[in-house]
Amino acid sequence: MKKVFSIALGILTAIGGFVDIGDLVTNGLVGARFGLSLVWVVVVGIVGICVFAEMSGRVAAVSGRATFDLVRERLGPRVGLLNLVASMAVTLLTFTAEIGGVALALQLATSVNPYLWIPIVGAAVWIVLWRVKFSVLENAFGLVGLALIVFAVALWQLGPDWADLWRQVSRPFVPHDESHTTYFYYAVALFGAAMTPYEVFFFSSGGVEERWTDKDLGTMRANVFIGFPLGGVLSVAIAGVAAVVYLPEGVDVDSLGQIGMPVGQALGVIGIALVLLGFFAATFGAACETGLSVGYSIAQYLGWQWGKYVTPLKAARFHSVVLLSSVVAVGVLLTTVDPIMLTEYSVVFSAVALPLTYFPILVVANDRTYMGRNVNGRLANALGTAYLVVVMVAALAAIPLMIVTRAGQ
């Protein structure tokens, strides 16, 4: 059991990164409109986030310092500030959307208007981030989020034409009623969602919270190579059930409730109960990740004491940032902005911020001053450099595609 809990950080990070409110709806929408023809993007994203999360976790384990802390020191305050502003804009936007996502999940479970839930959820997230131990946070929400495996079970129970699904995966296509620009807009969105900047900042900071050393590199890699692929599998399963149920009927998916309906069709009331539990755990866990990431990044850049491993009184500024972020997020949501729309925009904007996030990580992971003999090897550098080219292409294409397609319309 101890070994299972040792990879809970990776599970929490992966579920929060791959299966948050925006990804739940985006994967369902993509499955309903494009089938499984965009699975290749998820695979590319999984490999990319594994490459850079492993670097980030290795930096934390070897140096005992979080990545953002070292980025400022290694590349200077100006580059660090640019990185901070870009990543914080995306992370705060995502944090806002996740609080809204929890409210939507609670609406499905209780039929109570989500705007009545929003202040309660915002307060609950802040209390958890203020009072609950990091180990409890990662174990509880990371493992309960595994309830979303019910989508994979539902896909099996629906009895799809597996040969047809494999053709969609292996021979990507653009449906006759969709444009190539819309197809590539969603490709960039899925890629941005898979490699969202806060994932690596949270993961490396979590390693410091857990006091990883170079003796924990095996545990860290287990977190990466089990947790993130698992998140990708859940994303594909969500797209799969939508492809089986909605694509043949030409039904558009634009709400959280529609995402869970195929599971109810396949597994009945028990399936719906597990879906609601998974929705809540995934969105609440993602809200915790993004809320902590806001506090982590700002505190690390400014050199403040930070972390849940220190008492709130000793890290008062860190906790104040988290509290202020919660207040801002609730305030934005109470203007009646759509949380799903917020996250869909945030994953596109995250694609724009990717080069600023991952280039510094590659630099720090190659610095022997911090890493000693644990610097990147040839394979890590080759993959890291190749992915920097990919993220540059995604960053340059994101905004033009969003404008041309009117955000995928």
State the angle between helix axes of 8-18 and 228-245 in degrees (0 to 180), rounded to the nearest 10.
Answer: 40
Structure tokens at 379: 């394979």
| pLDDT digit string, tens, across residues 7-20 | 555 555 555 555 77
Mean of pLDDT values over 340-369 = 84
Alpha-carbon span 388 to 390, nearest angstrom: 5
Kindly list the domain boundaries of the chain, sorted by start residue.
Answer: 2-405
- Considering Cα of 290, then 233, then 348, then 333, what sign does the dihedral take? negative
Report yes or no: 117 and 334 within 8 Å, Cβ to Cβ. Answer: no
Report the candidate in 179, 100, 98 with the shortest Cα–Cα distance to residue 406.
179
Mean of pLDDT values over 177-192 = 90
Structure tokens at 42: 């998820």
Confidence label for 5 from pLDDT (cuts 50, 70 and 90): very low
Q: Is the pLDDT of residue 1 over 70?
A: no
Report yes or no: 323 and 291 within 8 Å, Cβ to Cβ. Answer: no
| pLDDT digit string, tens, across residues 230-276 | 888 888 999 999 999 998 888 888 788 889 899 999 999 999 999 99
Mean of pLDDT values over 75-104 = 86
Report the candidate in 282, 264, 279, 334 with the shortest Cα–Cα distance to residue 119.
334
Burial class (CB in 10 A: 0-12, 13-18, 19+), 80: buried
Report the candidate in 297, 254, 284 with the shortest Cα–Cα distance to residue 99.
284
CATH classification (class only), 2-405 = mainly alpha
Report the candidate in 402, 395, 167, 147 with the shortest Cα–Cα distance to residue 277.
147
Alpha-carbon span 184 to 38, nearest angstrom: 9
28 three-class SS = helix
230 three-class SS = helix
Q: Which of 80-94, 95-109, 285-299, 322-336 has the lowest mean pLDDT?
A: 80-94
